[in-house]
Structure 1
Amino acid sequence: MPAIERIDTFIVDVPTIRPHVLAMATMHAQSMVIVRLTDSDGVEGIGEGTTIGGLSYGEESPESIKLAIDTYIAPVLRACDAAQVGATMAAIRKSVRGNHFAKCAIETALLDMAGKRLGVPVSELLGGGRVRSALPVAWTLASGDTARDIEEGEAVLAQRRHRIFKIKIGKRAVADDVAHVGAICKAFAGRASVRVDVNQNWSEAQADLGMGMLHDVGVDLVEQPVARDAVDAMARLSARHTVPLMADEALNGPRSAFRLASSAAARVFAVKIAQSGGLLAGGEVAAIAAASGVELYGGTMLEGGVGTIASAHLFSTFPELSWGTELFGPLLLTEEILSEPLGYADFELAVPTGPGLGIALDADKIAFFRRDRTAPVVHASA
């Protein structure tokens, strides 16, 4: 059996093209944990573990992801058959609780290896295989400045890159946020879908007021307006309002998906491979949604190229993807860490057809952006 012989983990810090303002943090750079596995047959696989704003978004940070892999997951990996992805991940889950982002990075690398070993894309290892070759991609307007957001939206529309806009709100008073969003809705009426993400920053009373006002100004979707554990409040808001409520932070794997679906707490699920604990668990979340009549959106943790394309492989297998995806993470960064940029064109992202993830790291960019720049250069993965 092929055994894992080398496990490389390192953090890369890449600046963003502009400040990215969220309710819980303002990002000026993205920190990504890159994993590279090499087995005894010489097959390599890459994965990514990325979160937002250090520990301001959730319980894992880039530093804790790397620590979990190096200290607790690596010994389990070395004892497993690298070709048996499901069995290997089951062994990791038995030994390591939680740490979904770290597990997702490892599973992504294992699936990349499996696809290369078999000569097929990762999408063909998931569910029934891909049903689409490209995915609609939203762009997040998060400068916080109305005129700047409209100018930015016009630019990406003209480039035929995005016609779905998500606006980050929740830091200002509800009425001020609605005025900001309403101006953007008016600017793009009939040309783009406008959604908002509150990132859990409203109380139920604020959400009740805000969702009604946002519907009136033309918003199509409201993402996670209240705290992730406020499932009853989400259910009440979903029952009261016409504009759909989308669950994001409330989703952290199949069990949470089942609870949300059975409680009618959301009409849309934002599936994220990292929050779910990997691509396989993300597929289970999507299956629960489909069986429950909940619509799907392909979410992001603002990953770089590796995590973005891993998500794209999974999302390409969803029979229905009513709300598109948000896989714009690499476009928010000043530099691409892949040897070839991902294919964004005509408002969509192309899903690679090569073996595994179908991508490779840019060795020079990785060496430059590594936090530990004195470490050996990681060569591009084939």
Structure 2
Amino acid sequence: MSQTLIESVSAIIVDLPTIRPHRLAMHTLQQQTLVVIRLRCADGIEGLGEATTIGGLAYGNESPESIKQNIDSHLAPLLIGQDAANINAAMQRLDKAAKGNTFAKSGLESALLDAQGKRLGLPVSELLGGRVRDSLEVAWTLASGDTAKDIAEAEDMLGIRRHRIFKLKIGAGEVSQDLKHVIAIKRALGDSASVRVDVNQAWDESQALRACQVLGDNGIDLIEQPIARINRAGQVRLNQRSPAPIMADESIESVEDAFSLAADGAASVFALKIAKNGGPRAVLRTAAIAESAGIALYGGTMLEGSIGTLASAHTFLTLNKLTWGTELFGPLLLTEEIVQEAPQYRDFQLHVPRTPGLGLSLDEERLAFFARK
């Protein structure tokens, strides 16, 4: 028993450059900041986890700095001396002592799962019930804001067989211009690709009613979070009227949110994000609620690096049906890597290893170089 005690937990802020600025409705990313978690156990095994936000506090309630501070001051001390092999008890202990903090908790649970997988010689997917696939279709976000550039980028991705699902970040601009931009891209790509939009809550209901109609009528497959998460009645009305499916993303900040959205009929698709639910095991509870309610699933991302991306991927491999694929492209947005085994993308899919744990080990030199001083 004493051999599996948790001995130390450290959280390291890492700033990595991106291949280009990444525009969202509320923020433009110039680089990506990860919080890498290292959980060391008495049996010599180390588990890796990651907590990553999009745009710090512009997106949600946690920032890289607050994640590190809360892990260091509040969450890590609760884990030291606990049984590393009993992930359920460890996470219940955190949930009792700390409200929210789902990004931090997700990183810690990922590290516990990685360590236990290494201990047992099993991939994390097998600890979560067992994979039913070995790879996941991955969407790519076209976020330059320039129509011609976005079309060229999409055609290049199709040509090299890396992506055939494209998501457009809109909402920062004038609605009619955004619609024109999206429709032009869909017309250029035709039936060779699925084109979807993410509005990141930028529209009010009056704008969304018309825009969703236009998008649906012009072949757009999916509309993500068009209006504010707090306008639940508006989400229900939109979901009833839009010709294209509406996906809830920011609306789901917990498993309880997922239940409430399903009960109200506020969306026909759920974006699953381990960080926003509090870890891989929690996001599977959200998936179970969705499946019970007949709501389709999509594997979302917080633009994590390789550690967080594979924690999500191992989780999504276990789902019965992922109707809308995933967007686990975070590592492809980065120009630098801090792990020795970069995730493998080919033939439109992310291929997930069957090696123990998450299947990753840190590149100590690169980690030291990019860690915030």
Q: Which residue matches 2:43?
A: 41
Q: Which residue matches 1:223?
A: 224
Preserved CA contact (<8 Å) 2:217 2:243:
no
Instruction: Tell me the TM-score normalised to structure 1 length.
Output: 0.96
Q: Runs of 4 or more off by more than 3 Å in structure 1?
A: none
Q: Which residue matches 1:106?
A: 108
Matched residue SS, 1:190? helix
Amino acid at match of 1:106: L
Q: How does 1:131-210 map to 2 (within 5 A)?
A: 131-210=132-211
2:10 to 8, 14, 28: 8
Matched residue SS, 2:151? helix
Q: Which residue matches 1:81?
A: 83
Instruction: Tell me the TM-score normalised to structure 2 length.
Output: 0.98
The alpha-carbon deviation at position 79 of structure 1 amounts to: 3.5
The alpha-carbon deviation at position 209 of structure 1 amounts to: 1.1
1:125 to 124, 127, 130: 127
The alpha-carbon deviation at position 319 of structure 1 amounts to: 0.3
The alpha-carbon deviation at position 109 of structure 1 amounts to: 0.1
Moved more, 332-341 or 30-39: 332-341
CA distance in 1, matches of 2:364, 2:156: 31
The alpha-carbon deviation at position 177 of structure 1 amounts to: 0.4
Structure 1 unaligned runs (5+)? Answer: 373-382
Structure 2 unaligned runs (5+)? Answer: none
Amino acid at match of 1:52: I
Q: Deviations over 1:30-81 (max 9, x none)?
A: 0000000111110110000000111100000000000110000011001311
Matched residue SS, 1:353? coil
The alpha-carbon deviation at position 4 of structure 1 amounts to: 1.3
Identical pairs, percent: 57
Amino acid at match of 2:145: G
Matched residue SS, 1:189? helix
Matched residue SS, 2:282? helix
Q: Which residue matches 1:26?
A: 28
Matched residue SS, 1:55? helix
Count of aligned pairs between the two proteins: 371
Q: How does 1:303-314 map to 2 (within 5 A)?
A: 303-314=304-315
Preserved CA contact (<8 Å) 2:138 2:350:
yes
Q: Which residue matches 2:323?
A: 322
Moved more, 73-82 or 297-306: 73-82
Q: Which residue matches 1:91?
A: 93
Amino acid at match of 2:297: L
Q: Which residue matches 1:377?
A: none
CA distance in 1, matches of 2:156, 2:364: 31
Q: How does 1:55-66 map to 2 (within 5 A)?
A: 55-66=57-68
CA distance in 2, matches of 1:172, 1:9: 37
Matched residue SS, 2:266? coil
Q: Deviations over 1:184-237 (max 9, x none)?
A: 001111100000000001101111111011112211000000111211111100
Moved more, 210-219 or 50-59: 210-219
The alpha-carbon deviation at position 173 of structure 1 amounts to: 1.4
The alpha-carbon deviation at position 253 of structure 1 amounts to: 2.0
